[in-house]
Structure 1
């Protein structure tokens, strides 16, 4: 059996959530592939140093998340779901990136408004602080599964109305083209990981403790002028990245 580390009782994170994270990570690494089953509750309780009720709560969360499911008479089965592969390159595009991996792609506008750029957004977009920008919140789905939630900012002087155009097309690339920008490049992509917070848990249909891959990215026009800064959250069990040179 895989050597799962014991939980930390003073970590400030509920024990069941820590256990769910450890099991999820072990599944992602393929550590239970030989059996296809999560170890029995009694074994997990002994290895984590907790009672079976705590383990049961962790498995219930993973079941709700779709990572595992209980099978009568057998135990807890790992649900195999292929991750979407999302390439990150000089011309990163959501629709082209997912491509033929999904039959149905959706881009849904959650909100759009003009606001003054705060210092961080202004820095990424090479603007003066307080310059008007369009903030666009969007959710993307592939075959009905939510695969990303993004917050993006665009210089308002150049891209006023991009929210309305995106709402019709479901594509940032098409929206930019409609506003006069036919091509653009990815200049920066930073990747990190974090636990999902309440808003992302609701929008991405996750359970507390789910892990997100987070990208902070800047796109520029062909002259190198920043045209978009975006923070995008991807469920780690649904999407993986490929970095292209």
Structure 2
């Protein structure tokens, strides 16, 4: 078999398991497959789509990795009971409050924290020269122990010197802001777009690399409108729904 034939065969196989994954995803989203419902057997799925056992198992594995299915040894494969999270984006957007308001349990896991030179996008957002030292915090966000986000947050070292020392004591970013005379802060700007995840992003979000992610790039400012943080957050797209709230709380001036 030639290299070209092998490549065509690999593409065909990839297309077959993706077809099953997409159809089952649609059945779950439309309610044809209800939460906790048991999937047909491998043999039945093979007959429905005219594919082999390996193709069916690949599709099931991808759906399970995305948190849509649960495979129970000896019992079968079941639809996970889950709902899309409505995440409110407003002038005072707070991760934990968003989740608690929906009866979810928020949590976070540190991935990496270090001082780096500000890339051009970060420098422009924070209004500092390119390459200026910024403190980068990488974290995973969870709702009920299910990973939903991977964030890279950047803070100017000139504004928050020795931030890393305070972080090592367990202080939150909000507490550190308060230590530097910033008792409150606001969302200045938000950009949202979709793209395909990297292999590492898909792994950390426990989703298929074939499923798009939502990317939210935001700038937070102090009450005088000066940038204090830039974040690039990758969200598990099929688990999230964003709601933009343009209302200003009573007595609050419009966004700058």
TM-score, normalisation: structure 1: 0.78
Match of 1:14 in 2: 14
Q: CA shift at 1:156, angstroms?
A: 0.9
Q: CA shift at 1:241, angstroms?
A: 1.6
Match of 1:101 in 2: 102
- From the superposition, tell whether residues 83 and 192 of structure 1 become closer, same or farther in structure 2 (CA, over 3 Å): same
The reply to whether residue 26 of structure 1 matches residue 42 of structure 2 is no
**Contact residue 90 and residue 185 of structure 1 kept, 8 A:** yes
Paired with 2:47 and 2:199, the residues of 1 have a C-alpha distance of 31
Match of 1:45 in 2: 49
| Larger Rg computed on CA atoms | 2
**Contact residue 21 and residue 60 of structure 2 kept, 8 A:** no
**Contact residue 17 and residue 55 of structure 2 kept, 8 A:** no
- From the superposition, tell whether residues 193 and 37 of structure 1 become closer, same or farther in structure 2 (CA, over 3 Å): farther
Equivalenced residues, count: 235
- From the superposition, tell whether residues 30 and 130 of structure 1 become closer, same or farther in structure 2 (CA, over 3 Å): same
Paired with 1:28 and 1:192, the residues of 2 have a C-alpha distance of 24
Q: CA shift at 1:58, angstroms?
A: 0.9
Q: CA shift at 1:137, angstroms?
A: 0.7
**Contact residue 65 and residue 207 of structure 1 kept, 8 A:** yes
Paired with 1:52 and 1:30, the residues of 2 have a C-alpha distance of 26
For residues 58-97 of structure 1, what are the alpha-carbon distances to aligned partners after superposition, in whole Å with 9 as ceiling and x for unaligned? Answer: 1222124331245899975422212332110111111121
Please show how residues 95-174 of structure 1 align to structure 2 within 5 Å: 95-102=96-103, 104-166=105-167, 168-169=169-170, 171-174=172-175
Match of 2:84 in 1: 83
For residues 141-172 of structure 1, what are the alpha-carbon distances to aligned partners after superposition, in whole Å with 9 as ceiling and x for unaligned? Answer: 23222221100111111123334544555743
- From the superposition, tell whether residues 154 and 9 of structure 1 become closer, same or farther in structure 2 (CA, over 3 Å): farther
- From the superposition, tell whether residues 164 and 236 of structure 1 become closer, same or farther in structure 2 (CA, over 3 Å): farther
**Contact residue 13 and residue 55 of structure 2 kept, 8 A:** no
**Contact residue 109 and residue 167 of structure 1 kept, 8 A:** no
- From the superposition, tell whether residues 14 and 132 of structure 1 become closer, same or farther in structure 2 (CA, over 3 Å): same
Paired with 2:24 and 2:188, the residues of 1 have a C-alpha distance of 33
Unaligned runs of 5+ in 1: 1-7
TM-score, normalisation: structure 2: 0.75
- SS of the aligned residue for 2:137 comes to strand
For residues 113-159 of structure 1, what are the alpha-carbon distances to aligned partners after superposition, in whole Å with 9 as ceiling and x for unaligned? Answer: 21221212112222221221111111222322222110011111112
Please show how residues 217-236 of structure 1 align to structure 2 within 5 Å: 217-236=218-237
